[in-house]
Amino acid sequence: MRNATQINIVSSLGPTAEEICWQVERILASEEFHAPQRGRNFLQFVVSETLAGRSGFLKAFTIANVVFGREASFDPQNDPVVRIEAGRIRKALERYYLVAGQADEVIITVPKGGYVPHFEYLRDASAPPQPEKDRENAQGVAPPDQTHSPRETHGVALANGRGRRTGLLAVLVLPLLAFASALFVARGTPIRPPPSEALPPTVAVEVFAESGFPDSSSDIARGLRDDIIGQLAQIDDLVVVADPSAGDHAAAAGYALQGNIQADGSRLRSVVRLVRQTDGAVIWANNFDADLRAQNKLEIQTNVARQIAGAIARPHGAIFQAETAMIAQSARKADQDGYACAPIYSSYIETMTAKNHGAVRECLQQAIRQRPDNATSWALLSLVYLDEVRFRYTLGTPSSAEALSLAAAAAQRAASLAPDNPRVLRAVMLVNFFQGDIDKAIAAGTAAYAANPNDVEVAGEYGLRLAMSGKWQSGCELISMALDKNAGPRGYYEAGMAMCALMRGNIEAAEEWSRISGLDGNPMRHLALLSILGAAGKMDEAKLERDWLQTHAPELMTNIRQEISLRLQLPEDQEKFFDGLRAAGVAVDLPSGG
């Protein structure tokens, strides 16, 4: 291949996203690009994922599952399909540039040792000048290392977030939709475009004020705002207005995010609120406190930005709850069919209280009485019934086989109405998992993920089931991907990452993930942290957790083996968990009761 200058896509000197997309189309249209359809799908997928900032997840498992339709049991060591196809694409690209692409200015390669494409300018070709706005459209790709701690992962997210700018959306929308269409049509799954009137909500991130800083040149407010924009720009179905001078765009935004950063010595307080533009109503507000003696400025900015993005954005944030509530209100006026349950369910899974559980259960039961052919209501009701089993120590529900039977019946009814619906398949997966039929559970999860790999909740839950059934590598990869895409509630998946780290023997990372997940009075999370602290040899802290569990969840402490075997399927994984508890002074081997 000809000499080329390799430029990182984040550089203002490198090819723009638009140039890269056009180059891919040029390659695919050439008769000199000798690659079968699945190889073309491979190239489209790795390029589009890289441009979307998800190069860190271009692993053999993901590519095999999404592009080649492999099952969850795919093992890259025994099935080299991805490596073989990557080798073919490398040769096909090399031939193309030697024969038909000699005059092309943009060179695309897939270097050996991975599946992340590189985008380069030809050395002897002068890079076209870029306007300032196009420089902001360049996007960095820094893959996170899933074996790292949350702090290291958040550092990578900071680097990624600042490289992501909303201007990139205008460049990528049409090419990426074309890529996705070609990929899924080739796999036989039609894509249905959203109706033209279904416009995504728009939020304008205003300039944050500062007060109490001795140095007027402090950039904490600006840095926090940049990080928030970077986090929100990753959210599907949300338009972010980042330029406060773009009056027309900001005025058209449905919501405005406003903030003020206050300093008092080493202590910082970030006061943030989300305002609905139509009526000036504050639909969400919160304060975030930090201490510069405990964390550096970049860590504070990253952590606060992540919390804000998770609180206001999809899938359960304030913006989408407000949007869902308005849709539900309109639906109730036109037809009392139960759509009002959506915001109630969103609130329930965030809080997980007995009161909200009863409210959403009653709402869904009423919705089904009104519309018994609504598969989504049946699927949600199945999950609500199942929560009485898997979260019974949080909800205070009694030990009973009835809840699992009700969950199974509701999932079966949902599947009879919409057997290919990813949310329905998710319910089928969970019911089968907690019934102990792991093969059926994984089969349903595989089908759900294949039907819509972009549904982060389905992907995250599927990843958890894979991991808990012993497929830790592939499962934890999907959990990490779901977190990267802001799946919610975050604490649920962060607790999953704690288990991933524990099973890999990275006890320090396991403790960090466990603590940032928020214990929130959840006895199972306290039990997991107790095992981690025992494995770490932190006996004083372990005693605090053990005392809390004995006070708040004594029944769990007499049913540890039963509860853990319900979740961890492999005996060796169970024993690793029990070893930590034994080290923390818990008599796991005593006969259980209750």
d(CA 398, CA 392): 7
CA distances from 315 to 311, 323, 361, 482, 487 (A): 10, 11, 20, 11, 7
Is the pLDDT at 38 greater than 60? The verdict is yes
Please give the pLDDT value at position 252: 63
What residues are paired with 275 via a beta bridge? 256, 282
Longest dimension (CA), the chain: 76
For range 562-580, the mean pLDDT? 94
* Closest-CA residue to 42 (of 139, 116, 104): 116
Please give the pLDDT value at position 574: 95
- For residue 25, give the DSSP letter: H
* Closest-CA residue to 284 (of 251, 253, 321): 321
Span 457-506, pLDDT tens digits = 888 999 999 999 999 999 998 998 888 777 777 888 999 999 999 999 99
d(CA 430, CA 440): 10
For range 225-234, the mean pLDDT? 83
For range 342-371, the mean pLDDT? 85
Asked if residue 489 has a cis previous peptide bond (ω within 30° of 0), the answer is yes
For range 37-64, the mean pLDDT? 85
- Cβ proximity of 565 and 574 under 8 Å: yes
Phi/psi region, residue 188 (left: phi>0; alpha: psi -120 to 50; beta: rest), is left
H or E element at residue 285: strand 282-291
Is the pLDDT at 239 greater than 50? The verdict is yes
Please give the pLDDT value at position 216: 52
Q: For the chain, what percent of residues have pLDDT higher than 70? A: 75
Is the pLDDT at 413 greater than 90? The verdict is yes
For range 512-530, the mean pLDDT? 88
106-109 vs 209-211, strand pairing mode:
unpaired
pLDDT band at 12 (very low <50, low <70, confident <90, very high): very low
* Closest-CA residue to 454 (of 314, 281, 325): 314
Please give the pLDDT value at position 576: 95
Please give the pLDDT value at position 529: 95
d(CA 20, CA 104): 11
Is the pLDDT at 160 greater than 80? The verdict is no
Please give the pLDDT value at position 212: 76
Please give the pLDDT value at position 330: 47
pTM listed for this prediction: 0.53
d(CA 51, CA 44): 11
- Cβ proximity of 137 and 17 under 8 Å: yes
Q: What tokens does 240 get? A: 């972010």
Q: Where are the alpha helices (DSSP H) in 418-553?
A: 422-435, 438-451, 456-468, 472-484, 490-504, 507-516, 523-536, 539-552
For range 405-433, the mean pLDDT? 94
What residues are paired with 288 via a beta bridge? 270
Give the mean pLDDT of the chain. Answer: 78
Q: What tokens does 151 get? A: 């702090």
Span 319-338, pLDDT tens digits = 766 665 554 454 444 333 44
SS3 11: coil
- Cβ proximity of 261 and 215 under 8 Å: no
Please give the pLDDT value at position 364: 92
- Tell me the domains of the chain and their CATH numbers: 4-134+160-185 (no CATH), 198-312 (3.40.50.10610), 315-430 (1.25.40.10), 453-588 (1.25.40.10)
pLDDT band at 77 (very low <50, low <70, confident <90, very high): low
Place of tokens 């008769």: 31
Place of tokens 């992962």: 153
Specify which of 297-306, 329-338, 430-439 reaches the highest per-range mean pLDDT.
430-439
- ∠ at Cα 304 (391, 513), nearest 5°? 45
